[in-house]
């Protein structure tokens, strides 16, 4: 008798999963590609022993982040492929939907940099969207990420094969995403500062048509499939 696979767990607050897999107490944390740093703000509030540093190459977002500094939070304008910190500085590195945004020729370099700045036995938490689902079918109209997301996972595989990392944990889950309407969707998904997405009326009309069947009286809700991999830096002895 065949059995259907169990439904994936739904998680709306990824900080809960992060703390479940890597109990947070007094770590020094670096986030590579921090964006608006929403999770980080909650992290330092709920775990006052942690210090957080966020890197991002989006200068518009970096300027906005830097206007409202918070205790135990530091924002740095830099990319994952050239982390401006000494070796063995951090206990934990996190990448939330950001690894696939690293230029493909620099993926291995970025993971090597993450390894370099982590202390022995330090952990790398990588959360990547899976190229699947109804929301993805809308997004791919203007941002088809199938190839870059696969490249990000392949880079993690190569990192593990290098002997510098070992797998600590792996989890798949669904993240609920809600939009008030198609204009809310376009504001959050198209009109962003980290990408040049200047589209004409034809593309926006296609998006409206594909979005429309998902609308209800309370908006449109989706489940975004996610894939988390936690890697541990291998201790080497000279």
Q: What is the CATH number of the domain that holds 31?
A: 3.40.50.150
Look at residue 193 and tell me if it is in a domain.
no
Name which of 95, 102, 61, 76 is nearest 192 in CA terms: 61
CA pair distance 216, 182, nearest whole angstrom: 11
Order of all β-strands in the sheet with 51-56: 9-10, 165-179, 220-233, 118-129, 90-96, 28-32, 51-56, 73-77
Query: CB–CB of 152/99 below 8 Å?
Result: yes
Q: How many domains does the chain have?
A: 1
- Residues of the domain holding 66: 14-132+143-176+225-233
50-100 pLDDT per residue, tens? 999 999 988 888 888 888 767 889 999 999 999 999 999 999 999 999 999
Interacting residues of 208 by C-beta distance below 8 A, sequence separation 6+? 182
140-197 pLDDT per residue, tens? 998 999 999 999 999 999 999 999 999 999 999 999 999 999 999 988 888 665 555 5
Name which of 44, 43, 53, 56 is nearest 97 in CA terms: 56
Look at residue 188 and tell me if it is in a domain.
no
Look at residue 215 and tell me if it is in a domain.
no
């Amino acid at each position: 008798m065949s059995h259907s696979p169990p439904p994936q767990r739904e998680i709306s607050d990824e900080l809960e999963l992060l703390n479940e897999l890597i109990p947070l107490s007094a770590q020094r944390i670096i986030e590579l590609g921090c964006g608006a740093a929403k999770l980080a703000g909650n992290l330092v509030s709920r775990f006052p022993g942690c210090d957080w540093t966020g890197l991002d190459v989006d200068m518009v977002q970096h300027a906005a982040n830097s206007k409202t500094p918070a205790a135990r939070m530091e924002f740095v304008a830099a990319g994952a492929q050239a982390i401006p910190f000494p070796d063995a500085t951090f206990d934990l590195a996190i990448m939330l939907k950001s690894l696939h945004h690293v230029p493909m020729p620099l993926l291995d370099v970025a993971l090597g940099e993450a390894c370099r700045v982590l202390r022995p036995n330090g952990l790398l938490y990588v959360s990547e969207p899976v190229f699947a689902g109804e929301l993805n079918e809308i997004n791919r109209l203007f941002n088809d990420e199938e190839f870059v997301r696969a490249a990000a996972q392949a880079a993690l595989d190569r990192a593990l094969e290098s002997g510098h990392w070992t797998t600590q944990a792996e989890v798949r889950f669904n993240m609920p995403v809600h939009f008030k309407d198609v204009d809310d969707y376009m504001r959050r998904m198209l009109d962003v500062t980290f990408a040049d997405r200047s589209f004409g009326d034809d593309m926006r009309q296609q998006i409206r048509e594909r979005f429309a069947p998902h609308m209800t009286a309370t908006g449109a809700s989706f489940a975004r499939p996610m894939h988390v991999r936690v890697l541990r830096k291998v201790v080497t002895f000279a």
